[in-house]
Amino acid sequence: KSLFISMLSYYYDLNESDQFETLFGQCEIGRNPTAKKNSYLILSFDFSGINTKTNETTYAGFLDKVKKSVTRFISNYQELISFNKTEILESNTPEGILEGLLNSVQDHKIYVLVDEYDHFANEILSFNPHDYLNIVAKNGFVRKFYEVIKIGTGRGVVDRIFITGVS
């Protein structure tokens, strides 16, 4: 699954257009590319390895993963878009950081890739279902994070999403 996420990233990332022939030229998709090849900004998340021992460590781990992904996105596309990195990352919530980033992107489309979306959630569900409801369901931070992505699709900033996990 992770390898497939990586392949999608290279295929659709506009920063990888100079590598397209090398990576895909000998493949059927390289000989007959889609119109959307190398046309997106790639925002990639990997939610594996989050410490789920307590609600606090789970939240801190999720927030850290979001910050790292957003920081990498800003670094990858800073030549195309003028980001206020400090302002985007100053939020202390995952959804706030993501919302700040999506508000900064105007003239480009984003492809969101999420690997292991449910890795930490499955651990919590297995050992503490009550915490699961507070984190993932109701008004939990995970639900709010994905709501921001949904709003981004409605605004046309997020054009595609691919999510993989164990469930």
Give the pLDDT of the chain (167 residues) as one tens digit per residue: 889 999 999 999 999 999 999 999 999 999 999 999 999 999 999 998 888 888 899 899 999 999 999 999 999 999 999 899 999 999 999 999 999 999 999 889 999 999 988 777 777 777 777 777 777 777 888 889 999 999 999 999 999 999 988 76
Residues whose CB falls within 8 Å of the CB of residue 96, separated by 6 or more in sequence, listed in order: none
Grouping H, G, I as helix, E, B as strand and the rest as coil, residue 120 is: helix
Report the distance separating Cα 57 and Cα 67, nearest Å.
15
Residue-level pLDDT at 165: 80
Predicted TM-score (pTM) of this structure: 0.91
Residue-level pLDDT at 167: 61
Integer angstrom CA distances of residue 157 from 40, 74, 109, 152, 161? 10, 15, 5, 5, 11
Integer angstrom CA distances of residue 145 from 9, 63, 95, 121? 21, 10, 4, 14
C-alpha closest to that of 112 among 54, 62, 66, 80: 66
C-alpha closest to that of 13 among 104, 60, 102, 80: 80
Residue-level pLDDT at 8: 96
Longest Cα pair distance anywhere in the chain, in angstroms? 51
Residue-level pLDDT at 41: 98
DSSP 1-63: -HHHHHHHHHHHBGGGGGGHHHHHTTSHHHHS--TTTT-BEEEEEE-TT---SSHHHHHHHHH
Contact 39, 106 (CB under 8 A): no
